[in-house]
Structure 1
């Protein structure tokens, strides 16, 4: 590679384009993420390669492949961007009345949950820091932890099936869902008294990909594995097709059950409860605005008290406790007062 004695703004732009290509693993996906044409994206990558004096990746009919030089550049670029973000955060602490941007990542399916109070936290935070601009992005759960850890997102809100020591966690509330099938699925017509757990266990199961450690009993063998829907809407489309059964969040399932599009399969025995948490990375932990926003998130959800765990709707469940109701264990370092209700 050529020796670069000076980094310019255009270099940062080109590096961000390259990082997006690597993370998306394709030019087409990177085009959509960056809102750039293919010709512009290709020209940006070519300019970066000329600037560095090395070919970074293969693109074309044979698909995308990152070369060794590209791996080195990608890692260095991520470290560079994390350092820039850390500088911005520390500089903002000098005078918090200065206009600043707070980046929030939210997992899909959380904002519309009736017990999510993200909007209340934003409003409360804005009363204290009216000059802060929010940048909010809805993303898939498996993307969330990585972006928080890299410092690209200051605060993440989502379901974490693994707890990493470099991240800090605060429990906000629990979301719950029912195992459902659509009207097109063979199990839909079987009466409750005739429907057994063995029937449910034998059906092809559609997962959300990154959440399977919350309910590993559904992925213990290959013959029961169905389709994978990355994102709650994608999973729902696959369940509605009749190809699979799968967990559907109750606030999404209820109207579809009432309309006859979905059926909850033995809700007296089968449901899932997942903890929704706020998380910060090591850089954001020293960023006062990020910590204050997490405090607002925790406060508004704690004010709900026992309502943080959604009640089981009478239209779907009877009065018994599901046999496989899953409890919540707070992650290390979480506040004792934020355990599940």
Structure 2
């Protein structure tokens, strides 16, 4: 099977049109389907379907299936996807190396981060991006906001060259990871929740554990701050958590900087802050083996943008 797919890919004439088809395919896979990829690609489902059909015809391979069970890659599709990511990575490295040989940074750079960074008091990410652009104006920077597990996997498979994320799992030998700042997480409920008016002294571990809890898809369903919460919903993003909390049906953790405005306006309340608080350590990470100068430059700019305590 692998040899069959390799033969088809090697015999595919790789011009701009073929590369464009492969990038559409990769985006569909990364977003989990045709409809989910529409916004990222700026295409209708019909156009995406046409591109996918053209690619399958050129390769003479069935790459995916769609139906009631949802979008699924075939075995051939998975192999082509892996080969496409290797190809994109090689092209980006080539462009980067040419730019370095010419004395300036160029090419494409894919950067991934989690959401809710713009309100973070510990990091001036927008300042880091401005600094990076000043140093590398010819680099085409692509930014994607994704869940930590997606960022980690993307770093391993080459779809991201630099990521900023909280720690998820073990750091592999293929990745350089550097801690840059910690983010304070506190427990919240909304004004419509039954705990909103309860004094902190009544918020025992048992009371908190009895409530419907909105957790993170990348966190283990385990004790947090000493409480065995009742997981009733999960989302990878802070905005998703905030929506669940504002429904009045759940309690959950948010970064304090992200929740501040909602607390000030009386829409959210911090629950038992002396006990229900923990910190997430954020890392900047990029490939260990021959990272591009552009990747290193962006990583340095982000590291330098961490705000020093007064």
TM-score, length-scaled by structure 1: 0.80
Question: Secondary structure, in 3 states, of the residue corresponding to 2:250?
Answer: coil
| CA shift in 2, pair 1:92/1:146, >3 Å | farther
Query: Which structure is higher in strand share?
Result: 2
Match of 1:175 in 2: 183
**Quick check: 1:48 aligned with 2:55?**
yes
Match of 2:206 in 1: 198
| CA shift in 2, pair 1:183/1:221, >3 Å | closer
Kept in 2, the 8 Å contact 1:104–1:134? The answer is yes
Q: Which of the residues 237, 240, 248 maps onto 1:234?
A: 240
Question: Secondary structure, in 3 states, of the residue corresponding to 1:217?
Answer: coil
Structure 2 matches for 1:149-160, cutoff 5 A? 149-160=156-167
| CA shift in 2, pair 1:134/1:30, >3 Å | closer
Cα shift readout 1:231-279 (whole Å, capped 9, x = no counterpart):
1111100011111110021112223223221111110111121011111
Cα-Cα RMSD: 2.6
Match of 1:207 in 2: 215
Match of 2:299 in 1: 294
Distance 2:12 2:148 in 1: 39
Cα shift readout 1:97-129 (whole Å, capped 9, x = no counterpart):
254443322210112212212223233344444
Any gaps of 5 or more consecutive residues in structure 2? Answer: none
| CA shift in 2, pair 1:152/1:105, >3 Å | same
Distance 2:159 2:203 in 1: 47
| CA shift in 2, pair 1:66/1:124, >3 Å | closer
Distance 1:222 1:193 in 2: 19
Kept in 1, the 8 Å contact 2:185–2:279? The answer is yes
Kept in 2, the 8 Å contact 1:149–1:282? The answer is no
Match of 1:323 in 2: none
Distance 1:287 1:273 in 2: 31
Question: Secondary structure, in 3 states, of the residue corresponding to 2:196?
Answer: helix
TM-score, length-scaled by structure 2: 0.87
Distance apart, 1:220 and its partner CA: 11
Kept in 2, the 8 Å contact 1:179–1:247? The answer is yes
| CA shift in 2, pair 1:88/1:216, >3 Å | farther
Kept in 1, the 8 Å contact 2:216–2:236? The answer is yes
Paired residues in the alignment total 302
Any gaps of 5 or more consecutive residues in structure 1? Answer: 308-341
